[in-house]
Amino acid sequence: MPVKLTAPAANALLPVPGVQLGFAQAHVRKPNRKDVLVITLPVGARVAGVFTQNRFCAAPVVLCKTFLAENAGIRALLVNTGCANAGTGELGLNLAQQTCDALASLLNIRANQVLPFSTGVILEPLPADKVIAGLPAAIANLQEDNWLNAAEAIMTTDIVAKGTSRQILLDGKTVTITGISKGSGMIHPNMATMLGYIATDAAVSQSALENIIHFAVNKSFNCITVDGDTSTNDSLIVMATNLAGNAELCEGCPEFALLREAITDVAIELAQAIVRDGEGATKFMTVTVEGGKSEQECRKVAYAIAHSPLIKTAFFASDPNLGRILAAIGYAGIDDLDVNTLQLYLGDILVAENGGRAASYLEEQGAAVMQESDILVRVVLNRGSENITIWTCDFSYDYVKINADYRS
Amino acid sequence: MPVKLTAPAANALLPVPGVQLGFAQAHVRKPNRKDVLVITLPVGARVAGVFTQNRFCAAPVVLCKTFLAENAGIRALLVNTGCANAGTGELGLNLAQQTCDALASLLNIRANQVLPFSTGVILEPLPADKVIAGLPAAIANLQEDNWLNAAEAIMTTDIVAKGTSRQILLDGKTVTITGISKGSGMIHPNMATMLGYIATDAAVSQSALENIIHFAVNKSFNCITVDGDTSTNDSLIVMATNLAGNAELCEGCPEFALLREAITDVAIELAQAIVRDGEGATKFMTVTVEGGKSEQECRKVAYAIAHSPLIKTAFFASDPNLGRILAAIGYAGIDDLDVNTLQLYLGDILVAENGGRAASYLEEQGAAVMQESDILVRVVLNRGSENITIWTCDFSYDYVKINADYRS
C-alpha cells in the first residue's frame, strides 16, 4: 500500500485557465478503465519537455522531441496507457504518428502540434485504432476541471492518483500551477518520471520555461528510484498558457525565482508521490548524503544505498541490519573514500563512525526508527561541501508479486 | 531451492596432498552448526589471494592483505561464519589479530602465517573468544579428507555445500585441484566471491600462481551477480603445496596453460554454484553480450540485464516480458548505441531486431524457453568484436523472505 499517500480530492486540483482535459475508456489493453487522455492548450501556450535517456526510447518520445524542435506551437497532448509503444521500431513510429494525425484532424490543428505519450507494456505494437476510436469521447468531455480524471487516466500499476496544485502571486496576479504524474515501477528516471504534466497560466518566456523544467527535474524526478530501472518512456512536460495576465517572466525577472520554486515544489511532491506509491512499497526512505567532494559522488553513495536489494529488504522487515548500508557506501565507487572519517545516521541516531559501530549506538534505537514508515538515512562523508537528497522505497513481497504478474 | 545444484559426494572432493582441514562448532552466532574452519599448509606452500574492492572491507581482509605482503610463508587459514567482522573499525582488527595469534600459538607458527576470514552479519564485533575456544576441536580433527566438512563449515544462507575437484597430468605426475566456495546473497563480486578456496599439490612459481588467480577470477567470480551488492568480505585464495612432484611451473612453461585452465574451470564451477544457490533462486540465467566495441561495454549491458529487478522478477514468473530486457540494454550506458542494429535472443529464439520485435518471433516460443530452469539471454550488439558471458539468477519471493529474516 502507498506510504502516507492518498489521492487528492477533486477540488484540490485547481483548474489552470486555458488547459482542458478529456478522457476516454478506449480498451487499449484492459476494459472499463480510463486509458486515453487528451489535453488541449490555447494558442500561444509555451511547452517544454524532458525525456528519458534510455537508448531504447519509445516511439512517442521520438515524436515529442521532433515536434518540440519544430516549434510549431503545441496545442494538444495525447496520452495512452496499456502499451508503451517502445521497442517497436519503424512500425511504432508510424502508429504514434497516426494517432497524432487523427487528433490533429479532429481538433483542426497540425499533427506536429500534438505531443504523444504512451505507457504500459514494452515490445508490443500500439493498438492505434483503439486509441483513435477513443478520441471523440475524450474530446467530448474536455473541460478545465478534469485534472483528477486525467490523473486517473494515466495510471498503470499506480494504486493512487497523483496530483497537486499551488497558487502564487506574480505581478499582482494570482497564478495557478497544477501537476499530475504517474509511475510506480521501472522508476529510476534519468530525466523525468514515466509521465508527469505540470501546467500553469503564468506568462513566461520559452527560455525561462526551459530553465525551470531543468531546474525542477534535477531537484525532483531525477532524485527518485524505486527499482533502478530507467524507463523507455519517461517524459515530463511543463506547459504555460500565458493567461494569468502577469507581465511575461524572463530568467532575469525579479519574480522568476518565485515561479521556479513553485513549479519545483509541485515537481518534488509529484516525484515523491511516485515513490510513496512505488510497487509494493511499505516504507518511504529519504537518503541524504552530505559533505562530499562533488554532487556526483554524493549521488553515487545515495543511489548505492537506494538500489541495494539487501538494504531495501531489511527496511521492509524493519530490521536495523545497518551493516548493509556501510557495505553499500563501501562499494559506491569512491576510490579514495576513508571509511574512518564518515558518519552514518538513521533518523537522528548516530549509527557508525570511525569505521565501525558508534559506541553510543544501541540496537533498540535503530529498531525504533525502523518501525516508522518515513525514514531518514543520512551519510556525512566529511570530505567536502556538496550534498544530495534522494527518495526511495523498500522492497517487499508485493514488489515481486506485482512484477511477476504485471502482464497477466 | 538451488537450480540444478546438489552438494558433492564426500568422495567427489579429492584430497590435495599437504592440505589438511579441520572444523568446529564454536557457536559464533547459532548453536549446533560447523562455524569455524582451519586449513593447514605444509612448509613451502605458495598462496595467492584476491579480495573485495569494497572500501568498507572487513578486518580479516585487511589482515590477509598485510600478511600476504609480508610474505612470511602462509601455513594456515582460519575461517569463521556468523560474523563478518566488517564495519568494526580498530576493534575489529584487534579481534581478528587475536584469533590469528591464538591459532599461531597452537600450531607453533607465527601470526602472520595465518590468513583470517569471516563471513556473516556486518557491523557487529567478532566474538573472538568463541572462535578461539573452537580452535582445539578444529585442530583435533585436521585431516586431508575433510573437504566436504570444510565446505559445510563455511556456509551461511547457502542451502547447498559447494565444491569440486579436477585431476590433470603435469610433467607426468597426477596433480589434484580441489576447491570450495560459499555465498548466496550480497553477491556481485568485484574481485572474488564471498569466500572461495582452491588448493592444488602442483609445484608452481609464485608469479605463475598470481597470474593464474587473476586469470581465473576474471573468468569466474567476477562474472556472477545475485543482487548487485558487493560484499565487504569477498576473498578467493589459491594454494599450491608443491608436493605433486612435477617440475615447478612458470608462466612461460609449456604446461602452464593446462594448470591455469584446470584451476579456472574449478573457479567457474564454484562461481556458478553460488548463483545456482543464489538466495531464493529458481532460474539460472547465462547472459552473453557479443559484438561490442569493448569488453567493458559488453559488461555494462550484461550487468544492466542481470541487475534489473524487473527482468529478474519476470524470469521468476516465467513471463516472456522481454521488453524489459530491451529497456535495460537501452539504459546500460552506451551513449552511441544504435538500437536498430542489435539483436536479442532468448535461447535460440530471435526476439528483437531493427529496434523492435522480430517479425518471426512468436510469444509461445518465448514462453517455452521461460519455462526452463537454465536460460540463455544473448545480445548481439553488432558494433565490434568483444564479448562477455556472466551468470545470474532470478528474483523471487524467497529472496525477500531470506533477506527480511536474515538476522532473526
Contacts of A92 in chain B (CB under 8 A): 355-356
User: What is the Cα B48 distance to its own chain's centre?
Assistant: 15
Q: What is the fold, at CATH topology level, of the domain defined by A284-405?
A: Ubiquitin-like (UB roll) (3.10.20)
Contacts of A352 in chain B (CB under 8 A): 87, 123
The full DSSP string for B163-174 is: EEEEEEEETTEE
| Count of residues in chain B | 408
The full DSSP string for B236-304 is: EEEEE---S-PPPB-TTSTTHHHHHHHHHHHHHHHHHHHHHT-TT---EEEEEEEEESSHHHHHHHHHH
Ramachandran angles phi, psi of B166, nearest 5°: -140, 155
Closest CA to A347 of A326, A380, A369: A369
Alpha carbon distance A178, A202 (integer Å): 11
Closest-CA distance of chain B to residue A306, Å: 12
CB burial of residue B200 (10 Å; 0-12, 13-18, 19+):
buried
Query: Which residues in chain A come in under a pLDDT of 50?
Result: 190-193, 408
Q: Is 70 exceeded by the pLDDT of residue B408? A: no
Q: Do A54 and B186 touch (CB under 8 A)?
A: no
| Count of residues in chain A | 408
Contacts of A122 in chain B (CB under 8 A): 321, 323-324, 326-327
Q: What is the fold, at CATH topology level, of the domain defined by B10-276?
A: L-amino peptidase D-ALA esterase/amidase (3.60.70)
Beta-bridge mates of residue B288 = B378, B389
Alpha carbon distance B331, B305 (integer Å): 10
Alpha carbon distance A221, B48 (integer Å): 47
CA-based R_g, chain B, Å: 22
For residue B56 the three cell numbers come to 568498507
Better pLDDT: B220 or A192 = B220
Domain boundaries, chain B: 10-276, 284-405
Ramachandran angles phi, psi of A332, nearest 5°: -70, -15
pLDDT at position B406, please? 57
Q: Identify whether the C-beta of residue A37 lies closer than 8 Å to the C-beta of residue A150.
A: yes
The half-sphere exposure of B53 on its side-chain side, counting CA atoms within 13 A, is 12
A128 CB-near residues (< 8 Å, 6+ apart) = A95, A96, A98, A99
Closest-CA distance of chain A to residue B401, Å: 8
- CB neighbours of residue B247 within 10 Å: 12
Summarize the confidence of residues B38-63 as an average pLDDT: 91
Alpha carbon distance A226, A235 (integer Å): 17
Closest CA to A328 of A306, A348, A349, A343: A306
The full DSSP string for A265-301 is: HHHHHHHHHHHHT-TT---EEEEEEEEESSHHHHHHH
pLDDT at position B192, please? 39
Q: In one letter, which amino acid is A24? A: A
pLDDT at position B196, please? 87
- Secondary structure element (H or E) that encloses residue A141, with its range: none
Alpha carbon distance A298, A295 (integer Å): 5
Q: Which of A227, A331, A339 sits opposite B230 (nearest CB)?
A: A331
For residue A29 the three cell numbers come to 489493453
Q: Is 70 exceeded by the pLDDT of residue B59? A: yes
Q: Do B310 and A405 touch (CB under 8 A)?
A: no
Alpha carbon distance A48, A42 (integer Å): 15
In B84-141, where do the E strands start and end?
114-121
pLDDT at position B135, please? 98
Beta-bridge mates of residue B350 = B345
Q: Which of B231, B309, B326 sits opposite A122 (nearest CB)?
A: B326
Q: Is 60 exceeded by the pLDDT of residue B148? A: yes
For residue A273 the three cell numbers come to 508521490
Q: Which of A232, A309, A322 sits opposite B228 (nearest CB)?
A: A309
Q: Which of A229, A339, A407 sits opposite B328 (nearest CB)?
A: A229
Contacts of A339 in chain B (CB under 8 A): 55-56
| Residues B261-316: tens digit of each pLDDT | 999 999 999 888 888 988 888 999 999 999 999 999 999 999 999 998 889 999 99
Which of A126-130, A387-391, B130-134, B191-195 comes out lowest in average pLDDT?
A: B191-195
Alpha carbon distance A301, A288 (integer Å): 9
Alpha carbon distance B172, B245 (integer Å): 9
What single DSSP character describes residue B143? Answer: B
- CB neighbours of residue B18 within 10 Å: 21
Instruction: Suggest the residue from B191, B321, B322, B402 to mutate for an interface test with chain A (most A CBs closer than 10 A).
Output: B321
Instruction: Suggest the residue from B156, B226, B229 to mutate for an interface test with chain A (most A CBs closer than 10 A).
Output: B229
Residues of B taking part in catalysis: 193
CA distances to A165, A174, A263 from A168, rounded to whole Å, are: 10, 6, 10
Interface A-B, measured as beta-carbon pairs within 8 A, has a size of: 232
What single DSSP character describes residue A55? Answer: T
- C-alpha dihedral (B97, B101, B103, B105), degrees to nearest 10: 180
Give the global pTM: 0.83
Q: Could you tell me what percent of chain B has a pLDDT over 70?
A: 96
B129 CB-near residues (< 8 Å, 6+ apart) = none
Residue with cell 554532487: A295
For residue B70 the three cell numbers come to 609480508
B57 CB-near residues (< 8 Å, 6+ apart) = A330, B51, B86, B232, B233
Secondary structure (H, E, C), A152-195: HHCCCCCCCCEEEEEEEEECCEEEEEEEEEECCCCCCCCCCCCE
Alpha carbon distance A380, A289 (integer Å): 6
Contacts of B309 in chain A (CB under 8 A): 227-229, 309, 395, 399, 403
Q: Which of B308, B313, B328 sits opposite A400 (nearest CB)?
A: B313
pLDDT at position A280, please? 86
Chain A residue nearest residue B398, CA to CA: A397
Q: Is 90 exceeded by the pLDDT of residue B401? A: no
pLDDT at position B189, please? 54
The answer to whether A10-276 and A284-405 have equal CATH topology is no
pLDDT at position B279, please? 83
Of A88, A178, A193, A241, which is the active-site residue?
Answer: A193
Task: State how beta strands B76-83 and B36-40 pair.
Answer: antiparallel
Q: Identify whether the C-beta of residue A220 lies closer than 8 Å to the C-beta of residue A234.
A: no
CB burial of residue B368 (10 Å; 0-12, 13-18, 19+):
middle
Alpha carbon distance B252, B255 (integer Å): 9
Contacts of A317 in chain B (CB under 8 A): 403-405
Q: Is 70 exceeded by the pLDDT of residue B226? A: yes
Band of pLDDT at residue B35, cut at 50, 70 and 90? very high
| Residues B256-271: tens digit of each pLDDT | 999 999 999 999 998 8
Q: In what order do the strands lie in the sheet with A343-346?
A: A224-225, A386-393, A284-292, A374-380, A343-346, A349-353, A356-357
- CB neighbours of residue A405 within 10 Å: 12
Ramachandran angles phi, psi of B363, nearest 5°: -55, -35
Q: Do B186 and A314 touch (CB under 8 A)?
A: no
Which of B53-62, B68-77, B196-205, B342-351 comes out lowest in average pLDDT?
A: B53-62
B255 CB-near residues (< 8 Å, 6+ apart) = B170, B171, B246, B249
B226 CB-near residues (< 8 Å, 6+ apart) = B183, B184, B185, B186, B187, B188, B274, B275, B278, B279, B281, B392, B393
Band of pLDDT at residue B186, cut at 50, 70 and 90? low
Closest-CA distance of chain B to residue A169, Å: 41
Q: Identify whether the C-beta of residue A18 lies closer than 8 Å to the C-beta of residue A45.
A: yes
Summarize the confidence of residues B57-62 as an average pLDDT: 92
Instruction: Suggest the residue from B29, B90, B121, B122 to mutate for an interface test with chain A (most A CBs closer than 10 A).
Output: B122
Contacts of A314 in chain B (CB under 8 A): 403-404, 406
Closest-CA distance of chain B to residue A353, Å: 9
Contacts of A329 in chain B (CB under 8 A): 55-56
Q: In one letter, which amino acid is A284? A: F
Closest-CA distance of chain B to residue A73, Å: 30
Q: Do A88 and B357 touch (CB under 8 A)?
A: yes
Summarize the confidence of residues B30-38 as an average pLDDT: 95
User: What is the Cα B276 distance to its own chain's centre?
Assistant: 12
Alpha carbon distance A76, A111 (integer Å): 9
- Averaged pLDDT of chain B: 91
Q: Do A229 and B331 touch (CB under 8 A)?
A: yes
Q: Is the dihedral of CA B58, B60, B64, B65 positive or negative?
A: positive
Q: Identify whether the C-beta of residue B254 lies closer than 8 Å to the C-beta of residue B211.
A: no
For residue A245 the three cell numbers come to 495576465
